[in-house]
A and B are shown apart, each in its own frame.
Chain A
Amino acid sequence: MKNLLIKNLHYQHCGPIDIQINSGECVAIFGASGSGKSLLLRALADLDEHTGDISLDDISMNQVSAPEWRQKVALLPAESQWWFDTLGEHFSEIDHQLIKQFGFPENVMSWSVSRLSSGEKQRLALLRLLLNKPDVLLLDEPTANLDKNNTLLFEKVVEDYIQQHSACVIWVSHDAHQLERVSSVQYQIEHGQLHRH
């Protein structure tokens, strides 16, 4: 069983935060801009300084190297970054089945990055992230720039991944309807604290 255990987490002005996320569970977090949602995800991916205990399957964050931790606890930012000219250069391996499942043709890896739409970009960023086979997905407003169709497509792909890998997911969003659709539990972040909704 995979589960993410967060105890007495403090970062910036926020905390203490205690929460447990179980295998196959999707937890939603919402709150006003600047309430510390994105920073929470960054702390969980060990991208910012923080104090407290974060552990995955009883293995504490500090027991593994930061790159290893980030492969297990994967953060998808609201806007993905691409630094090479073609898509393929960003991928160290190619999973044809996953590509098909994401609704892309076989030759997608030869596509030029500059021609991608924001919907395609976000799905491909998720694809790139999932190739690390993470146990935890941290999604930071992943569909904020997507239209209705692309949003539903994205949700479907995440749902499939949760089922196939019994992953844990934290989904941050402003869209209450979306959070109803994707998550089993919802939390509001306010004054640096999580409140069950």
Chain B
Amino acid sequence: MFIPLTSLDLSLAAVLVIMLALLSWRMQLNVTQQLIIAAIRTTVQLLLIGLVLKTIFTHVDILWVALICLVMLSVAGWEILSRQHRKLKGWWGFGVSTASLFVSSFFISILALITIIQADPWYHPQYAIPLLGMLLGNTMTGIALGMDRLVQTAWQQGSIIEQRLMLGQTSVQAINDIRKESMRAGMIPIINSMAAAGIVSLPGMMTGQILAGAPPVEAVKYQILIMFLITAGTGFGVISVLWFISRRLFDDRHRLRFDQLLKTVKNK
């Protein structure tokens, strides 16, 4: 059984957000503006994508699906960049984050669509777009965290890295401990959510399917599939980011070169 929502239903929920905004404004908690803007953004963006999906579902065409996917991919790429504390060099940074998302989400979505889900045609937007969306949204977090940790730690521990180089270590040896730590930082959220799934939290996708009337066990199977895809995607994505960045951090003579990586740094 599926119960559609009316505009009135949504307005009731919106009143809660507005009450929260008013309260935080009264208490001078400084989140009011961000809260309102984000709430408006989510409404407009979701309504728009709803309309887009509705149109695409009725005209199944691989070109349209590809176009939407590319837009999603590049927006996610920018999103990763904007979550970095240290600004990476423009196009290069965008290239790395998008390339890693390509490995983590695009490639894995296509693999899952063709070999596991096997819709007809395999790129059917009803499956392709939600799947890619979920993968992008979740792997993006892990990649952004891993990347930020690597760049931040390398920056803070620059003199330790150089000390290790002075002792004759290779660039890989000198950055290895920081790489391990960054991999952990990127993977912890998905590892935690796998461990907590079903006991502490009911994952959103599964809950959505159940709300839409799907049998619980079927919903659970889909959720397990998605969890595994997200985990694999996040892992491969973080690894590729670590690989790209730690290569860029050094030159071919194993010198530490922040000027190749970061925007505002000039080589001393």
Distance in angstroms between the alpha carbons of A75 and B168 in the assembled complex? 10
Mask, B166-208, CB within 8 Å of A = 1, is 1111100000010000000000000000000000000000000
Distance in angstroms between the alpha carbons of A71 and B165 in the assembled complex: 9
CB distance from A131 to the nearest CB of B (A): 9
Q: How large is the interface on B (under 10, 10 to 19, 20 to 34, 35 or more residues)?
A: 10 to 19
Whether, in the assembled complex, B267 has its beta carbon less than 8 Å from a beta carbon of chain A, the answer is: yes
Residues of chain A within 8 A (CB-CB) of B160 are: 81, 83
Query: Most chain-A CB neighbours within 10 Å: which of B157, B253, B267, B268?
Result: B253
Q: Contact flags (1/0) for B44-67 with A, using CB distance below 8 Å?
A: 000000000000000000000000
Q: Select A70's contact among B159, B167, B177, B267, beta carbons within 8 Å.
A: B167
Query: B163 in the interface, Cβ–Cβ < 8 Å?
Result: yes
Interface residues of A in 73-130 (CB under 8 A from B): 74-77, 79-81, 83, 128-129
Q: Find out whether the CB atom of B166 lies under 8 angstroms from the CB atom of A67.
A: no
For chains A and B in complex, what number of residue pairs have CB atoms within 8 angstroms?
56
B255 touches A48 (CB 8 A): yes
B254 touches A132 (CB 8 A): no
Within 8 Å CB of B163, what residues of A? 77, 80-81, 83
Is B79 an interface residue when CB atoms closer than 8 A count as contact? no
Report whether A46 and B255 are in contact in the complex, using a CB–CB cutoff of 8 Å. yes
* Separation of A74 and B168 alpha carbons in the complex (Å): 8
- Chain A positions within 8 Å of B253 at CB level: 46, 66
A132 to B165, Cβ gap below 8 A? Answer: no
For residue A71, which residues in chain B have a CB less than 8 angstroms away from its CB?
167-168
Q: Is the CB of A47 within 8 A of B255?
A: yes
Please provide the chain B residues from 206 to 258 with a CB less than 8 Å away from any CB of chain A in the complex.
253-256
* Choice from A49, A66, A132 contacting B167 with Cβ under 8 Å: A132
User: Closest approach, in angstroms, between the C-beta of B161 and any C-beta of chain A?
Assistant: 9
Q: Is A68 an interface residue (CB 8 A)?
A: yes
A83-B177 Cα distance, complex, nearest whole Å: 10
A74 in contact with B166 given A49-B267, A81-B159, A83-B177 (CB within 8 Å): yes
- Closest CB in chain A relative to B157 CB, distance in Å: 7
Asked whether any CB of chain B lies closer than 8 Å to the CB of A4, the reply is no
Q: Does A45 contact B (CB under 8 A)?
A: yes
B contact residues around A68 at 8 Å (CB): 168
Q: Is the CB of A47 within 8 A of B162?
A: yes
Please indicate which of the listed interface residues A12, A65, A75, A83 has the most CB atoms of chain B within 10 Å of its own CB: A83
**Known A77-B163, A83-B157: A70·B255 in contact at CB below 8 Å:** no
Indicate whether A128 sits within 8 Å of B177 (C-beta atoms), given known contacts A46-B253, A48-B255, A81-B160: no
Report if A66-B166 is in contact (Cβ < 8 Å); known contacts: A81-B159, A83-B157.
Answer: no
Give a binary string over B139-168; 1 marks a CB under 8 Å from any A CB, 0 the rest. Answer: 000000000000000000101101111111
Q: Is the CB of A132 within 8 A of B168?
A: yes
Query: CA separation between A45 and B168, bound complex, in Å?
Result: 10
Pair B255/A66 contact, Cβ less than 8 Å: yes
CB-defined contacts of B162 to chain A, threshold 8 Å: 47, 77, 81
- A residues 123-156 with Cβ under 8 Å of B? 128-129, 132
Closest chain B residue, CB of each to CB of A90: B167
Which A residues have a C-beta under 8 Å from some C-beta of B? 12, 45-49, 65-68, 70-71, 74-77, 79-81, 83, 128-129, 132
> Could you write out 28 A-B pairs with CB less than 8 Å apart?
A46-B253, A47-B162, A47-B165, A47-B255, A47-B256, A48-B267, A48-B268, A49-B267, A65-B254, A66-B254, A67-B165, A67-B168, A67-B170, A67-B254, A70-B166, A71-B167, A71-B168, A74-B168, A75-B166, A79-B159, A80-B163, A81-B159, A81-B160, A81-B162, A83-B160, A83-B164, A129-B166, A132-B167
Closest 5 CB pairs of A and B: A71-B168, A81-B163, A66-B254, A66-B253, A81-B160
